[in-house]
Amino acid sequence: MTKTAASRDFPCEACSVRGCSICAALNDNDLRRFNDIATAVALAAGQTVFHEGENDTYLFNVVDGTIRLSKALPDGRRQVTGFLFPGDFLGLSAGGSYAYSAETITQASFCRFERRKLMDMATLFPKLEQKLLSLAFDELAQAQEHLVVLGQKSATEKVATVLLRLSDRIGALNDGILTVDLPMTREDIADYAGLTLETVSRQMSRLRKLGLIADPTKRQVQIIDPPALRDLTGDL
């Protein structure tokens, strides 16, 4: 009863991503201040969180669901720059506007912050500012990793790399088998890997014939032989 009352005022305390997200930079006490500037937001699948070029008024923390980040060219080509999962932070940008669009792939819920307020808090809490800095560095390192994938790798290497990356993030080891539930379509994966959806599909068929992966359903992949798949990534 008291717990429920407390949770109503202080939901951050019981948040599922409390430990693995930006809020991990704050102690329980400071978290209350953080809680006060956060608003819970929920979106259905296929909705736009924000659009490339829009005024970057808000920052978000993913609590639940999968998000797709992308940048589009005027003729409709699209580069997916990343997929976000619970605990990820989103909206960091330069120059006052979002550098990419963010859309929900599944139903999703967020903590939303006014950018201005969050930045003010960062000034007050050095731990928070350092966390933001390290988030920015991590994202940068990830983007640079991905430059290598897009610029240098073959189709097979790209698909192997993407599957293993996704498994690092959302893979589950069931009965000794590494299983990945893919919330995104082949087209999303293709736009992420700089390929066409047909090529992604063909490469996955190839990996299946090689016995490296299996797919009980189209949206679930089992990585049968992770080391062999890693050999195909080109990264050593």
Partner DNA sequence: CGTGTGGTTGAAACTGGTCAAATTCGGTGG
Partner DNA sequence: CCACCGAATTTGACCAGTTTCAACCACACG
Q: Site residues (CB under 8 A) for its own copies?
A: 71, 73-75, 77-79, 81, 92-95, 99-100, 123, 126, 129, 132-134, 136-141, 143-148, 150-153, 191, 193-194, 234-236
Q: Please state, in angstroms and rounded to a whole number, the distance separating the CA atoms of residues 163 and 230.
A: 10
Closest alpha carbon to 87 in 54, 116, 124, 60: 60
Q: Decide if 223 contacts 171 (C-beta within 8 A).
A: yes
Q: Please state, in angstroms and rounded to a whole number, the distance separating the CA atoms of residues 156 and 149.
A: 11
Out of 155, 170, 214, 224, the only residue in the binding site for DNA (CB under 7 A) is 155
Give min distance, CB of 188 to its own copies, in A. 13
Q: Which of residues 203-222 bind DNA (CB under 7 A)?
A: 204-205, 215, 217-219
When asked if residue 195 is in the footprint of DNA (CB under 7 A), the reply is yes
Query: Which tokens go with 173?
Result: 């080891």
Give min distance, CB of 190 to DNA, in A. 7
Packing angle, helices 126-152 and 155-170, rounded to 10 = 150
Q: Hey, which residues does 110 pair with through a beta bridge?
A: 41, 62
When asked if residue 147 is in the footprint of DNA (CB under 7 A), the reply is no
Of 138 and 181, the one with the shorter C-beta distance to its own copies is 138
Give min distance, CB of 157 to DNA, in A. 8
Give min distance, CB of 91 to its own copies, in A. 11
Of 104 and 161, the one with the shorter C-beta distance to its own copies is 161
Of 32 and 78, the one with the shorter C-beta distance to DNA is 78
CA dihedral (53, 54, 55, 56) positive or negative: negative
- The window from 28-36, 55-63, 109-117, 195-203 that contacts DNA (CB under 7 A) reads 195-203
Q: Output b/e per residue, 186-214; b: 16+ Cβ within 10 A.
A: bebbbbbbbbeeebbbebbeebeeeebbe
When asked if residue 44 is in the footprint of DNA (CB under 7 A), the reply is no
Give min distance, CB of 186 to DNA, in A. 4
Q: Decide if 18 contacts 12 (C-beta within 8 A).
A: yes
Name the residues that contact DNA, by CB under 7 A: 154-156, 185-187, 194-202, 204-205, 215, 217-219
